[in-house]
Amino acid sequence: MRLLLCLAEHAGEVVPIDELLNHVWAGVTVSPDSVYQAVATLRRLLGDDPKQPTYIVTAPRLGYRLVATVGPCPDPLTDQSSAQTGASPALTPATGVAPKSGTRFGAGFPWAAGAALSLALAAVVLFHGKTANNLLPAPSAVAPRPQKSIAVLPFLDLTEGMNEEPFADGMTEELIDKISKFPDVRVPGPTSSFYFKGKQTPVAEIAKTLAVAYVLDGSVRKSGARLRIAARLIRADNGYVVWTETYDRPLKDILMVQDDIAGEVTKALRASTEFKVR
């Protein structure tokens, strides 16, 4: 929310990454990766496509710009009629024309605008959550969840510019292929896993739909010529992370990196108590 408010205060302007770090993570030592991850999360919550953005635009090597229309939200205590008739939201997607530089909120910005944006974001999250749930395939009414079953979800591309999506997708498929070779372990195929790509569906709902006991997800980040791949194993019945690891590799042979990381992850899973033969 602090990131969204910071971008809204400078709607239509490119906000440098350093300024976002100083404003949103004041007093905390973090890397630019924190900005990339937070922006990716905002985009997912808003249903924004980074390749055709209507909310947040990436300015390569510079920062980010909010292109959605920003304005004050009517006070329901003083403008009850507007509230009853459905006043315009505080944050609406761009229609192809970015707002003029310097767009600002009206009077009483700090808390009133924050509340308005909170409501707007909550409404978007609720809408997308309902939409995603309505489109989910019906879970099996009789299929039990085998204890040794795992779904590999599409890895997130958290690189600046989000231009490593093919690598992230390939990483996901490589993991599905290797884990499916585990004896007595059930793994849903790529078609089932990629159905949830870009959807904000709770882990418990995904596990119920795919009839699995565990979910493996992860992310891909990049710094210069190096890739960082993070993977984590989540127990579906309680949502707890039972295993996590991060791998750094030079960006040379992509296929070799995918195979190497997938091998490391599967080796760690084999050694974990969750997938040992009981």
Confidence of residue 117 (pLDDT cuts 50, 70, 90): low
Residues 129 and 94 placed together within one structural domain of the fold: yes
Q: Give the number of other Cβ atoms within 10 Å of residue 2's Cβ.
A: 13
Write out the two tokens for 16.
């440098």
Residues 21 and 97 placed together within one structural domain of the fold: yes
Cα distance between residue 8 and residue 232, in whole Å: 33
Cα distance between residue 240 and residue 214, in whole Å: 10
Query: Span 222-244, mean pLDDT?
Result: 87
CATH number at residue 129: 1.10.10.10
**Domain-embedded: residue 51:** yes
Contact predicate 90/70, CB 8 Å: yes
Q: Give the pLDDT of residue 22.
A: 85
Residues 199 and 261 placed together within one structural domain of the fold: yes
Q: Answer yes or no: is pLDDT of 131 > 50.
A: no
Give the burial string for 171-183 (b: 16+ CB within 10 Å, else e). Answer: bbbbbbbbbeeee
Confidence of residue 88 (pLDDT cuts 50, 70, 90): very low
Q: Answer yes or no: is pLDDT of 135 > 60.
A: no
Which domain-ending residue is among 73, 101, 135?
A: 135
Q: Give the pLDDT of residue 276.
A: 57
**Domain-embedded: residue 143:** no
Query: Span 157-161, mean pLDDT?
Result: 85
Query: Span 256-264, mean pLDDT?
Result: 84
Cα distance between residue 71 and residue 278, in whole Å: 59
Residues 163 and 187 placed together within one structural domain of the fold: yes
Confidence of residue 151 (pLDDT cuts 50, 70, 90): very high
Per the structure, the complete domain to which residue 154 belongs is given by 150-271
Query: Span 119-130, mean pLDDT?
Result: 50
| Range with the largest mean pLDDT of 73-77, 109-113, 190-194 | 190-194
Q: Give the pLDDT of residue 103.
A: 42
Q: Give the pLDDT of residue 127.
A: 45
Q: Give the pLDDT of residue 172.
A: 92
Q: Answer yes or no: is pLDDT of 139 > 70.
A: no
Residues 130 and 162 placed together within one structural domain of the fold: no
Q: Give the pLDDT of residue 76.
A: 57
Which domain-ending residue is among 81, 110, 135?
A: 135
pLDDT digits (tens, 9 = 90+) for 8-61: 888 888 888 888 888 888 877 777 777 877 888 888 888 888 778 888 988 877
3-state helix vs strand vs coil in the chain, percent to 5: 40, 20, 40
Q: Answer yes or no: is pLDDT of 141 > 60.
A: no
| Range with the largest mean pLDDT of 11-25, 85-99, 106-120 | 11-25
Domain count, the chain: 2
Q: Give the pLDDT of residue 155.
A: 92
